[in-house]
Amino acid sequence: MEILAFGVQSDEKPLIENAFAGQHDVRCLDVFLNRDTAPIAAGYEIVSTSVNADLSGKVLQTLAAGGTQMIAQRSTGFNNIDLDVAERLALRVARVSYYSPYSVAEFAWTLAMAVNRRIIRAASRTRDFDFRLDGLLGRDMRGRTVGVIGTGKIGEAFTRIAHGFGMNLLGWDIAENAACLELGMKYVEKDQLLAEADLISLHVPLLPSTHHIIGEEALASMKDDVILVNSSRGGLIDTRALVAELRAGRFTGVGLDVYEAEAGLFFLDKSLEGIDDDTLARLVTFPNVVVTSHQAYYTRDAVGQIIEATVRNVADYLAGRRSENVLVPAPPSN
């Protein structure tokens, strides 16, 4: 069987091809799945997609009409998939429920320290042989307070690094993580965390209940010199409200690996044509903001695990097996 994989990065292609070698042929495309590209999938029973694919109702209908029966998404998040439509169309949908949490946690800390120590500005200066230290003053993390919003596997990994820095640990989640408690984390109400933390990092999924969890009110309640990091999902932050706070001169730094309107932008080269997203264009002009293009997961270890899980998802589909990765048909309720 030949599988069609959308949104494959050049680094991923040999890993995907090697993982399926001897089992199935894979046609890897660098274009992302959307309304315009969905007709390409005609005749392919199995389609694999990336996190920024458009799997809305119209796209799913096109896939089903073309003969697609199984969608294997190469990510943990699935907020881009209309699961109700997929179920009505009898499409099997699977995701990757787990991959290295360290990839994202370590990158979140990379963003935090990049804005704290002004790494981008410093590196840019030294390329011009400007070795002044003006404007590069950072601060120690030891003894300061970190607020971790979401203490699942990634949040726990982030917390372990914070513990290594010698920070005071505050956490907020719907359930407490015993491992974080052992590290000395104190679980508090979200409002208290936002008001007391010197560094805030987001590690919750994007759900209706978490959309714009960091909105105008939450941003206003933070310290003026806070560092804010988001390596989870762009929709957790109201970006327009964030820009307004930055314009007012607040925050030591902001590190974003995700953006709420990133679809159609991230993973693509827009350098020659520019973008018409005024919010993002303004955001990247602030000297205390670092924006990267959804690369926190992008390590050989994590990508390898994602691909291995995708191979298993395909094998399970062909064998008629169910696993924790299957989203549609919906898992039976207990």
- For 294, the token pair is 């959804």
Task: Classify the phi-psi angles of 94: left when phi > 0, otherwise alpha if psi is within -120 to 50, otherwise beta.
Answer: beta
**289 beta partners:** 254
Type and span of the H or E element at 326: strand 326-328
- For 76, the token pair is 């943990």
Q: What is the DSSP string of 270-318?
A: -TTT----HHHHHHTT-TTEEE--S-TT-SHHHHHHHHHHHHHHHHHHH
Catalytic residue among 95, 233, 250, 260: 233
Specify whether 262 is catalytic.
yes
**Residue 189: burial class (beta carbons within 10 Å; 0-12, 13-18, 19+):** exposed
Q: Give 93's DSSP letter.
A: E
Cα(187)–Cα(181) distance, rounded to whole angstroms? 8
* Contact status, residue 173 vs residue 152, Cβ threshold 8 Å: yes
Q: What is the DSSP string of 146-179?
A: EEEE--SHHHHHHHHHHHHHT-EEEEE-SS--HH
**Does the bond joining 101 to the residue before it have cis omega, within 30 degrees of 0?**
no
Closest-CA residue to 106 (of 149, 144, 160): 160
Cα(309)–Cα(59) distance, rounded to whole angstroms? 24
- For 93, the token pair is 């949908």
Catalytic residue among 12, 156, 245, 262: 262
Question: Cα 230 vs. chain centroid, distance in angstroms?
Answer: 8
Which residues are marked as active site?
233, 262, 294
